[in-house]
Structure 1
Amino acid sequence: MLDQFVRSVEQAFEPARELLVPILSDPAVLTGWAVLVAVTLGVLWWDLWNRNEELGSLMKAVWTLVVLYSGPFGLAVYWYTGRTQIPHDSIWRRGFRSTAHCYSGCGAGEVTGFVLMIGVLAVESTLLTAAATFSLAYLFGFALTVGPLMQDGVGFSEAVMDALYSETPSITIMEIAAIGTDLLLAGGAKITEPLFWGGLAFSLSVGFLAAYPVNVGLIVAGVKEGMSNPAEMGDDTDASNAQGAD
């Protein structure tokens, strides 16, 4: 039954696979992507340390990982939702920030899982690779959700419980989409092949896009509040500076 389902999914997405695999297998494309990511990381770090130093250290780490995984797309998400200069907050911005927190940890877990299972241990079982990668992604995503919540002033126990029930749906959807995409595009690729890394990079952003509407829905339903408005951090800092000047 499971094998039949997997084959039907592969057949349904075969046109997309035929289109994407040659692109993701091209060393020139992979090199160009690496250069683009390096440039966008430079822009992010300049902005974080020159114009948005109010953001906590964990938030800076979150945005660094988001841009590392998704390059210009990750930088656009940061620019739209994560800077103290945003003109106003909204459910859509909160949804992006919540997804980014989940994504930063899950991405690290996914990369670790695939590198460990395929590159280091040379595991041939697709099911075992998927299960181990999902477990690591969940663990990393959970940890990088609890940390920023605690920096926002939430207690440890409350942060753990909040992450447990509010992040599980997002992490689950994100990793089903990301791991499934990676296995569909790069299943069988070795760690030394460009397709291994190209498929991994592409799958991470697919996971983000799949989890975004889930996070928005959870915020609308009141299951989660979303991470704090960075513009308020800027306002608090400005107010403190003004009081100090007085």
Structure 2
Amino acid sequence: MTLDQIQTLIDTWTGLGIWLAIVAACVVWMVYDLRTSNSHIASIMQWVWILTVLYSGPLGVLIYRYSGRRQITTDDLPRKGFRSVAHCYSGCGIGEILGVIISVGLFAMGNFWAAIITFSLAYFFGFAMNIGPMMQNGMAFREAFKGAFVAESISIVVMEGVAITTDLYLGGQSTMGDALFWSSLYISLSLGLLAAWPANLLLIHYGLKGGMGDPRDTDAAAQAHCH
């Protein structure tokens, strides 16, 4: 399938509207599940999951059900990898959306400056969402920053390298008034998430990241809420 064919396929307001309705339903379910079945999860992590679902809809729900609930049967490296990448994703998504809207949607900048602005904002928000839980657990800012800098930089570079490239490639010359602009953004976000998962697996495997805690550990979660 050629680029033109792909763009024609996703450049439809009807399709985008259906997708947004699915995303809205997924977010409603997520909030309900967090309040009724997983309220022990720390507040920052709850927002991580809500944002993940907001960006990726059913894919975010599947990742949450697989790795983020206390109802999971076991915890392993793949699940830790998804929890880790979700932290990065929740923040990076905010930055990427703002970056694309500002650079492409409002100012119609070229690809170079669009990529620079989008990456900078994604890095800032992605890094903030990763050190936030550390500080919520009582770690000092400097210690949290030093502990997360290398690992999160690697994760964010992989995620945003794929996401920004995909968005600029698929979006072409579209503007905020085109369905293609928003469809490309949604697709790029999810592809960035999937691309960064293997990187997070390696980072956890080699001890550079921790996987953000086992959601079945309600005692640890309760302690996090107290800080």
Fold match, TM over 0.5? yes
Structure 2: distance between partners of 1:214 and 1:74: 18
- Structure 2 CA distance, aligned partners of 1:35 and 1:76? 17
Among residues 186, 200, 223, which one is paired with 2:208 in the alignment?
A: 223
C-alpha distance in structure 1 between counterparts of 2:2 and 2:147, whole Å: 37
> Which of residues 51, 55, 80 in structure 2 aligns to 1:94?
80
Deviates more, 1:38-47 or 1:221-230: 221-230
- Structure 1 residue 29 displacement after superposition: 0.7
Aligned length: 222
So what's the TM-score if we normalise by structure 2? 0.93
My pick for the range that moved more, 223-232 or 210-219, is 223-232
Q: Distance in 1 between matches of 2:2 and 2:144?
A: 40
Q: CA deviation at 1:198?
A: 0.3
Match of 1:200 among 181, 185, 208: 185
Partner of 2:104: 118
Cα deviation digits, residues 11-70 of structure 1 (max 9, x gap): xxxx45244212210111100000000000011000001111111111111111100000
Shift of 1:170: 0.6
Structure 1 residue 159: Cα displacement:
1.3
Structure 1: stretches of 5+ with no match in the other structure: 1-14, 238-246
Separation of aligned partners in 1, 2:148 and 2:113: 26
RMSD: 1.4
Q: Is the 8 A contact 1:106 1:140 kept in 2?
A: yes
Query: Among 35, 52, 60, which residue is 2:21 paired with?
Result: 35
- C-alpha distance in structure 1 between counterparts of 2:14 and 2:214, whole Å: 39
Is the 2:88–2:152 contact (alpha carbons within 8 Å) kept by the matching residues of 1? yes
Select 1:56's aligned residue among 5, 30, 42: 42
- Report percent identity of matched pairs: 43
What is the letter of the counterpart of residue 137 of structure 1?
A: A
Residues 1:224 and 1:235: Cα distance change in structure 2 (over 3 Å): closer
Q: Which amino acid aligns with 2:127?
A: F
- Per the alignment, in what secondary structure is the counterpart of residue 231 of structure 1? coil
Counterpart of 2:119 in structure 1 is 134
- Over 3 Å counting, the alpha-carbon distance change for 1:155 and 1:87 in structure 2 is farther
Change (3 A) 1:16 1:89: farther
Deviation at 1:165, TM superposition (A): 1.1
Deviation per CA, 1:111-154: give whole Å up to 9, x if none.
0000011222232x210011110000000000010112222343
Q: Quote how far apart the aligned CAs of 1:188 are.
A: 1.2
1:191 aligns with 2:176: yes
In the alignment, what sits opposite 1:12? Answer: none
Q: Is the 8 A contact 2:88 2:129 kept in 1?
A: yes
- Report how far residue 86 of structure 1 moved: 1.4
Give the TM-score normalised by the residue count of structure 1: 0.86
- Give the drift of 1:93: 0.4
Worse-matched range after superposition: 206-215 or 157-166: 157-166
The CA deviation string for residues 161-186 of structure 1, in whole angstroms up to 9 with x for no partner, is: 12211111110010010000001100
- Runs of 4+ deviating beyond 6 Å: none
